[in-house]
Structure 1
Amino acid sequence: MKNEGVTPEECRYLEIIESKNLTEYKMYFRSIGEVQSFLLSDPDINSDIFYEQKSKTASEDFAGAPLEQAINYCIGGYSENYDQFLALSKQLEQVNKKSVKVRKTTTSFVGQRPNVPAFIAGAPKNMYRLERTEEKKLKRIWMKVTYEASTTEQQIRNRGIIALNLIKLLEMNNYMVDFRLFEVCSVESEVFRCEVGLKRPGELLFPRLCYYPMCGKAFVRRVLCRIKESMPFKCGWGLSYGVVLNEQYTRMIMDIQDGDIYIGSPSEMNIRGENIYEDADAFLNKIGIGEKIVIPVYTDEREVVPNGG
């Protein structure tokens, strides 16, 4: 369709769902690499709706690196303030280690490795055996990538740190984690939803690959905008690029289940961006996960270190 964007027949990532009063444009990417592959194919622009391509024309102060570079960042290379991101992450990890339940090792007739002194001494229980663990459970985390215009870089960064820390806490408590990033917004009777898989159950967590889509403003203001510019919208998306939905409608559209974890904008999660320990406690209190897993109280640390401290 000339000047009308891509179609589901042309784009394997797109599904259009029509109901009586609503048309939903659903983009699903299994990985951040698929986002890059889609955009590198230079999908058609819906120029009937998007008279100006804001993914290109927005200033770097507002939207970050130029579009071409923003697309390339999807699979690596984005390192702005990453050292500080890692340093603050390690502060939380140090506290986590004090709360880890280590599997106990006992001597037994059979086991995973030999107890050499016991074997030499001729003891019948000459093997080490790890205690059994419960069967792993699945937990899905949905993280909304968008945020209010007043949100600070420190709030965005702290939310990213704490989200990855949550994954580590869940895995320490015998969960497998499915971590997905998303945006959902609407104009009139049309809804756009974009979902990106950042970690599948059983996969290792790669913080560097998660860092850019979670914390890089160019991902939200260039990459996601460029995806929208190729949607076959019929309504007037060209000015606002969509209005973000509230949590209730977001959960409904994204089909977020009661047992899933929803991560909203930094302000929704009570993240102020001033102190990583205080933000971590506020975040965990907000999602109410403490009844299901062992979580630290980060502000119990004697030395409370501010951002960048």
Structure 2
Amino acid sequence: MAKNRYRTTWGATTLLTAELDVYKQLIEDLKWNFSFVITLSESDFPTKPIEVLSEFLSMFPNQNFVSGNIPNIFNRDFIQYVAYGDDELIRGLRFAFNYTAMPCESFYHTVLINSIYCDSHVRMNLRMVNWDRRRGCTCYNMDVSDLCGCSPLIYRITDKRKFAEAAGELLFFARKFDPTVDEKIIDWIDEKISGLNLSEVFIRQNSRTSIFSKLIKQFDIGFTIDTRNNVFIDRSRTFIEPKIVTVLIEWTSEMNEEVSLVMEDPTGNVITRISITQSDEMPMIDIPFPEITSECMIGIWNMYLLSNSINDTLASLNFLILSANQTETNDD
């Protein structure tokens, strides 16, 4: 419970004041040894266990995840900066947003991409939102506001198919829920979806490997290799703007033909194609990764081994590329 109370009318500047005050209370009064702070609304609900989210965030301790407005996930260093920072930038932004409607939807984004923390910015929406623009938009003419806007629809038990289909995606929260309208969908999520573990999430989302030839025993991609077991230590295949990725290939038998290693971006454009030579030893090939220069480079990439003589795919895999610097479109 917050020590200082504020009248947090929807869209009011006091929302930001209250949040910054709570951050100070976490550090000064409660003295919590937290790694991240997650901002949620009262109509958000988690769709995966806290252990899954914790393990995911532990892979990126120095990053800050920004979506349209909420949930945002900020690390401790950034929280300390927005709450206590005293340089010209943060002082000016705190002052300016004290006179800005709906400040929480743009204050943190503005600070993040214009401060020393700009390289920690990850463009990633971690939440499902139940949008239907035809039904959720209206105009308000009240004493405190005069505007037109859209609000997500409330999830109901009839929407459970949406959650089942998204169970393998990197979505940790959903909005909008209201137990006074439909409590059954909340109970169903608790029972049916929250049992997923992290490996299931990553495997279903971006860690698919398909081997089509008996000549290929293993085909994988990652960073750090466990040479004793010939596997990558981090099996998630999730990379934030990598400079180099390592490819591991193990053959079952010798083949007398040329093979190409091909890498495609999410739009299907071939970014890299190199010839590889079969060897008795397990080859590990370092592939320089291109600079992320456009939004179309964010998402699921494809890599495959191609037999040049018969133009046939021997094996393929997917991996996920995230951006550290691009901004997220505001959906709320």
- Normalised to the residue count of structure 2, the TM-score between the two structures is 0.21
User: Greater strand share, 1 or 2?
Assistant: 2
Choose between structure 1 and 2 for higher RCO, CA contacts under 8 A separated by at least 6 residues: 1
User: Greater helix share, 1 or 2?
Assistant: 1
